[in-house]
Amino acid sequence: MIRITPQMVTSSTVRNVNNAFAALERRSNELSSGKSILEPSDNPYGTGKAIDLQSTIDGLSDHKTSIDEAIGWEHTASSALSSIGQVVQKARELTLQATSGVNGKSDLENLAIEVEQLTESAKQDTNVQYAGQYVLSGTLTGTAPYAAGAEDAYHGNEGTISRTIAPGMTIQINQSAATLLGNGQAAEDGKLLDTLRTIAKNMREGTPAALEALDGGDLKNLDANFETLLQMQAQAGGTVDQLQMAESRIEELTTSTTEALGNTQDANYAQVATEYTSDQVAYEAALKAGGSIVQMSLLEFLK
Amino acid sequence: MSIPTLQGLQTALSGLLANQEALDVTSNNIANAQTPGYTRQTAVMETNRPLTISSLSPTTGEGARLGTGVGVAEISRIRDSYLDSQYRAESSTLGEASTSAEVLGQVQTSLDEPSSSGLSSQLSAFWTAWNDLANSPSSGAAREGVVTAGKDLANTLKQLSAQVEAASGEATTRYATFTGAKGEVQSDAEQIASLNGQIKLALDAGQQPNELLDRRDQLVDNLSKLANVSVTEHEDGTIALGFGNAAEPLVEGSTVHWPQALTSAAGGQLGALLNLTSATGALAGYKVSLNEVAAGLAASVNALQPETPFFSGTTAASMAVNATAAQIQTGPAGEPGANNLAQSIANLRGGATDQSWSAFVTKVGSDVQSAKQTEAGAQAMVTAVEERRQQVSGVSTDEEMTQMMTFQRGYEASARALTAMDQMLETLIEHTGVVGL
């Protein structure tokens, strides 16, 4: 015969009510936090995975920040390059005007002054900053590439600056102003500053030989400089394209990684809510059954 | 020989007394229905020695036997000692598992994972700070950001190390409290020893020391939570109690052998505490893992800061940020725009440090999970055995009510027999032989 004692009934009732309540509390925590992993022991492997995935997502967000920064940087550089482009075109017009043969001495002097002003503004144009950094000075971002005035030497370096735009993928974002402007007449490097200074010099001389040089070598040099400028603009544009492509890939990756993270650690609301309801029913049943069985005793029926 | 005239009164009286005693036992059972450790008792009734009455059997001359009523032979405990030993074995397992689960769970809580404030988030924030610095290497704010994130990391590692240390210290203290001079082991053992003596005396005097036996069983149950116990019963009613893997029995007769050395194989809560705090135990392992995370982090970051090491210290407890904001190198000296070093550090994200941390969290989680599963299994076993023990030894009030009715009716019937006997004697004494008067 199985004997059942009131102590057994009491302890099993308490146990069942506790178990039902613990299950209910667990579901309630899952529902209110939205997470199925509340502590590592709930799912040790899942916790490790969630930590890794969260770090991946944070990393992608870092890359996105870097890309946005790099795009800002490139836009700054591009606008500087297009300003210089206008300078080169203006200089070309002035050079053609000088070689037309109808200019007097003072006309040529005025043209030379104008070219010198253009030279100055080309140097000024390179001194653009993005977030306090000179973008065309190589890694010497605290130094303006060119100083105002007659001194034409490049003050930056050829250091490269890059950004990590995807896991394991870096891209160079800076270009050196010296590639286009060079180190001036003293260096005789045929770069823009050398060319402009030579043009101004030849205008001022105004001799047939000088005008000949203007029409020949100087114009050719100017065109070559313009070609360099176009290449630099193309490179900046290409970098922006690459950055934007990387950005959209980062967004896709972020979406899919976030989804994976959600699958790993987030509670499935439909399922948890259903379980919550059935746990609630179980809890109420345990309470009700316990309440009625504990009251029952032979004493009730003996008089 | 014929039947003694007043024998019937004696027989009825024995019925009254036996039923009364049985009622007392029942009443005691009901009173103790909810007393922990109480074993239900039953009055074992036996017929009294019969009288041999030869005159009633004239044919054989051997005489007939006439019952002389009932007596209570003993008041016995209803208990199954096999269930006791089973209960104690499971109780040790439960004590061991629940202590492990509790201590490891404490470490797990201090990890604060997964959350937005745990070490993994701080590592992530640290790498982000370096990435921000790589984006604007000359920015003072970005430098300060790196230093702040580094300090947060170092502090958290320090705290984690301290918390593991604290868990280990608490476990050691708990062990000392249990096993110390006024601890549970000593006091339970002394009580058992003294009960051994009292039980022996009572048995020698021919008494049933049921309450003392209950009390002793309860003390042994209690000790079984602390370590494995083995009980050897002696003929004189005393027990020898083996405890954990101590060399000598904890209690032998009325002698207590304590303190004795235990090892992590002792089982129970004490075994778990020794196991957790041992040099090769879980907590020591956690400290090693934390130090590996700290040392790996410091080494990988410092390797990319050739002039001034960013972190000082190579253990979790001694970790600190060494470099000032101005000393942080983003690239070659004298090139404020160079960011190759900062970038390389930012790219350490997801590397060995992150992996060793998430592996550590997974390890702690698995340990807690398996301890909790063992605990749940042991709990279920203890519950089941306890239930079976209750089935045998627990007091059922319904049953006692029925017994009470039985004995009450028995008492009434005996009283009625007494009345009948009395009336018979009245007839004999008052109404016999009055014809001639």
The three-state DSSP-derived secondary structure of A222-246 is HHHHHHHHHHHHHHHHHHHHHHHHH
What pLDDT was estimated at residue B65? 81
* Residue A232 C-alpha, separation from nearest chain B C-alpha, in angstroms: 20
Query: The complex's ipTM?
Result: 0.87
| Cα–Cα dist B425/B302, whole Å | 114
Minimum CA–CA partner of B358 in chain A: A48
User: What are the start-end ranges of the H helices in B2-80?
Assistant: 7-31
Of residues A1 and A242, the one with the higher pLDDT is A242
Nearest CA in chain A to B116: A54
**Contact (CB<8Å) B337/A40:** no
pLDDT digits (tens, 9 = 90+) for A176-200: 999 999 998 888 888 999 999 999 9
Over range A105-128, report the average pLDDT.
Answer: 92
Task: Give yes or no for B340 touching A (CB within 8 A).
Answer: yes
A149 Cβ partners below 8 Å, 6+ apart?
none
Say what percent of chain B tops pLDDT 90: 80
pLDDT, tens digit, 9 for 90 and up, residues A10-19:
888 889 899 9
Average pLDDT, chain A: 91
A129 pLDDT above the threshold of 80: yes
The pLDDT assigned to B59 comes to: 67
Which secondary-structure segment (H or E) carries A20? helix A6-33
List all residues 6 or more positions away from B294 whose beta carbon is below 8 Å from its beta carbon: B157, B161, B313, B314, B315, B316, B319
Which chain B positions have a beta carbon within 8 Å of A15's beta carbon? 383
Question: What's at A215, amino acid-wise?
Answer: D
Contacts of A193 (CB under 8 A, 6+ apart): A119, A122, A123, A146, A152, A181, A182, A183, A184, A185
For residue A292, name the pLDDT band (cuts at 50, 70, 90).
Answer: confident
Contact between residue A21 and residue A283 where contact means Cβ atoms under 8 Å apart: yes
Supply the DSSP string of A139-178, one letter for each residue: T-TTS-SS-SSS-----S-----EEEEETTEEEE----TH
B365 contacts A62? CB cut-off 8 A: no
- Asked if the C-beta of B71 comes within 8 angstroms of chain A's C-beta atoms, the answer is no
Average pLDDT over residues A39-67: 93
* pLDDT number for residue B1: 58
The pLDDT tens digits of the residues spanning A224-250 come to 999 999 999 999 999 999 999 999 999
Residue B66: what pLDDT? 84
Put simply, the answer to whether B349 touches A43 (Cβ < 8 Å) is: no
Nearest CA in chain B to A68: B135
Counting as low any pLDDT under 70, the low residues of chain B are 1, 55-62, 434, 436-437
d(CA A102, CA B357): 80
Which of A26-30, A99-103, A119-123, B32-36 shows the lowest mean pLDDT across its residues?
Answer: A99-103
**Contact status of B35 with chain A (Cβ, < 8 Å):** no
Q: Name B5's Cβ contacts closer than 8 Å, sequence gap at least 6.
A: B425, B428
For residue A34, give how far its alpha carbon lies from the nearest alpha carbon of chain B (Å): 12
DSSP for B140-156, written as a single string: HHHHHHHHHHHHHHHHH
Nearest CA of chain A to the CA of B312: how many Å? 25
In Å, how far is A205's CA from the nearest CA of chain B? 42
From CA A41, how far away is CA B114, in angstroms rounded? 11
Candidates B138, B372, B395; nearest CB to A142 = B138
- Angular region, B265: left φ>0, alpha ψ -120 to 50, beta rest: alpha
Q: Tell me, what's the pLDDT at B54?
A: 72
> Rounded to a whole number, what is the distance in Å from the CA of A106 to chain B's nearest CA?
46
Region A114-125 average pLDDT: 93
CA distance B279 to B299: 26
From residue B331, how far is each of B20, B120, B127, B323 by CA, in Å? 100, 27, 17, 15
- At residue A37, φ and ψ (nearest 5 deg) are -105, 105
- Of A183, A133, A143, A139, which Cα lies nearest the Cα of A158? A139
State the pLDDT at residue B329. Answer: 92
Q: What gap in Å lies between CA A74 and CA A86, rounded to an integer?
A: 18
Over the stretch B399-419, which tens digit does the pLDDT of each residue have?
999 999 999 999 999 999 999
Using DSSP's 3-state secondary structure scheme, residue B187 falls into helix
Q: Which helix (H) or strand (E) holds B173?
A: helix B140-179
CA distance A94 to A115: 7
pLDDT of residue A3: 84
Query: Mind listing the pLDDT tens digit for each residue in B13-68?
Result: 999 999 999 999 999 999 998 888 899 999 999 999 988 877 665 566 667 788 89
Q: What is the pLDDT of residues B330-352, one digit of tens each?
A: 988 888 889 999 999 999 999 99
At residue B100, the pLDDT reads 94
CA distance A134 to A155: 11
Residue B51, amino acid: L
CA distance B195 to B75: 19
Chain mean position to CA B242:
17
Q: Does B145 touch chain A (CB under 8 A)?
A: no
